[in-house]
């Protein structure tokens, strides 16, 4: 009996594919190759398209860039730049000023201070500056051979002796004593009382808004624009004029005068042979600038019977009568002469 089991050699035989399976595989391979060709063709077309796109001009690029910039942002950036520049310039200027104001100092050692205290030492030269930060007390004298510039206030506890002083601004003094002359080129205003111990000489005009009080006042010429009020007597000073007898006073008659050119008294003594005419002549010590007004008045009753009159000139006046005076009688006339 034959065994129907398969032979082991038969299991090693290769199974051949069918024709249908071969056709399907061929179709699938052709489709894959067709798809790869299409993709490669599209890629080549895209590269060629990009290769032949025309490039944009510079103007178009600038226009595109400008259109994309915000104008307000540009203005803000410009303002920030200006502020930064101003700040930098101010900082540089202040820094330069600080550098200029800085004074290179040099400290004095203890040995230097001892040398200054014990002898006459010269510190530095005119090109250097000695800056003392602390207070300084000088027991002796201080000599400054050049100009002295003081930035603050000068306080002097004692007397200040100066050969000359020039003050350009306003000055305030409590007490000022001038030993010699005081010359003021401009106006001078005195708020309080002005006391002059000796003479006061005024070359020009003087105006006084208030009263003038003086024990004596000597002026060459006084002009009053308003009324003159005199609360006391008028004492006319000056030299005494000269009196001379007239021919009508008679033999051995005498004439005398007392007073001044302005006012006085003429005394007359009649002698034998008196007659009508000029009995006395008065010559002024100082002539008037024009013929004065002379007023005579008889003193007492002894001259009451005389018909007197007066003649006047700039140099004097004379007293005459139209009738003769009695021999041995005396008579007196007061006179006032005003220009």
CA–CA gap between residue 136 and residue 328 (Å, rounded):
100
* Tokens read off for 102: 């800085």
* Cα separation, 161 vs 329, whole angstroms: 78
H/E stretch holding 23 reads: helix 19-51
pLDDT over 90, % of the chain = 29
Strand order in the sheet with 242-245: 242-245, 277-283, 316-321, 308-313
- Residue 262: how many CB atoms within 10 A of its CB? 19
CA distance 273 to 279: 12
Between CA 320 and CA 308 the distance in angstroms is: 5
User: Which of these ranges, 2-11, 174-183, 214-223, has the smallest mean pLDDT?
Assistant: 2-11
Q: What is the pLDDT of residue 20?
A: 41
Quote the pLDDT of residue 19.
44
- Top-confidence residue, 124 or 248: 248
- If you average pLDDT over residues 51-73, what whole number do you get? 65
pTM reported for the whole predicted model: 0.42
Confidence check: pLDDT of 256 > 90: yes
Residue among 313, 307, 243 nearest 275 (CA)? 307
Whether the CB-CB separation of 239 and 260 falls below 8 Å is answered with yes
Least confident piece of the model among 2-6, 184-188, 234-238, 252-256: 2-6
Mean pLDDT comparison of 68-77, 87-96, 133-142, 256-265, highest-scoring range: 256-265
- Beta bridge partners of residue 325, listed in sequence order: none
Q: Sign of the C-alpha dihedral, residues 21, 24, 26, 29?
A: negative
Pairing state of beta strands 316-321 and 277-283? antiparallel
- Pairing outcome for strands 277-283 and 242-245: antiparallel
When the pLDDT of each residue in the chain is averaged and rounded to a whole number, the result is 78
Residue 220: band (very low, low, confident or very high) from pLDDT cuts 50, 70, 90: confident
- Among residues 289, 288, 245, 238, which one has the least CA distance to residue 264? 238
Residues 154, 161: Cα–Cα separation, whole Å: 14
Average pLDDT over residues 112-122: 68
Which of 49-53, 66-70, 261-265 tops mean pLDDT?
A: 261-265
284-324 pLDDT, tens digit each: 999 999 999 999 999 988 888 899 999 999 999 999 999 99
Residue 110 has what pLDDT?
78
Confidence of residue 2 (pLDDT cuts 50, 70, 90): very low
pLDDT at 98 over 70: no
Residue 117 pLDDT exceeds 70: no
Cα-flanking dihedrals φ and ψ of residue 72, to 5°?
-70, -35
CA gap 208, 218 in Å, rounded: 17
* pLDDT interval class at 122 (50, 70, 90): low
C-alpha 217/C-alpha 323 separation (Å) is 46
SS3 label, residue 247? helix
Pairwise pLDDT comparison (216 vs 59), residue with the higher score: 216
Q: Is residue 233 over pLDDT 90?
A: no
DSSP state of 281: E
Calpha distance 338→255 (Å, rounded): 23
Tell whether the model's pLDDT for residue 70 goes beyond 60: yes
Spell out the CATH class of 242-338: mainly beta
- Give me 207's structure tokens: 């105006």
């Amino acid at each position: 009996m034959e065994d129907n089991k398969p032979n082991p050699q038969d299991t090693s035989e290769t199974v051949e594919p069918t024709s249908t399976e071969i056709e399907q595989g061929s179709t699938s391979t052709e489709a894959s190759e067709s798809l790869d060709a299409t993709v490669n063709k599209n890629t080549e077309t895209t590269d060629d398209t990009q290769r032949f796109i025309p490039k944009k001009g510079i103007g178009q690029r600038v226009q595109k860039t400008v259109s994309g910039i915000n104008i307000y942002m540009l203005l803000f950036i410009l303002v920030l730049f200006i502020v930064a520049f101003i700040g930098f310039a101010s900082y540089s200027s202040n820094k330069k000023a600080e550098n200029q104001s800085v004074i290179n100092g040099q400290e004095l050692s203890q040995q230097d201070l001892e040398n200054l205290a014990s002898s006459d030492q010269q510190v530095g030269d005119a090109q250097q500056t000695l800056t003392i930060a602390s207070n300084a007390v000088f027991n002796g004298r201080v000599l400054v051979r050049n100009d002295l510039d003081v930035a603050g206030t000068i306080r002097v506890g004692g007397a200040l002796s100066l050969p000359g002083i020039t003050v350009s601004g306003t000055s305030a003094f409590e007490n000022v004593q001038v030993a010699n002359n005081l010359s003021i080129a401009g106006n001078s205003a005195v708020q309080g009382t002005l006391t002059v111990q000796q003479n006061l000489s005024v070359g020009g005009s003087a105006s006084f808004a208030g009263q003038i009080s003086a024990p004596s006042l000597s002026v060459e010429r006084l002009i009053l624009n308003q009324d003159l009020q005199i609360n006391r007597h008028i004492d006319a000073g000056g030299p005494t004029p000269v009196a001379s007898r007239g021919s009508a006073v008679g033999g051995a008659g005498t004439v005398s005068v007392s007073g001044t050119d302005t006012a006085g008294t003429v005394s007359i003594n009649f002698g034998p042979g008196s007659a009508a005419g000029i009995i006395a002549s008065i010559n002024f010590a100082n002539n008037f600038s024009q013929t004065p007004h002379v007023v005579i008045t008889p003193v007492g009753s002894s001259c009451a019977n005389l018909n007197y009159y007066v003649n006047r000139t700039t140099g004097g006046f004379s007293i005459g009568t139209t009738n003769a005076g009695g021999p041995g009688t005396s008579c007196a006339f007061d006179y006032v002469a005003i220009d």
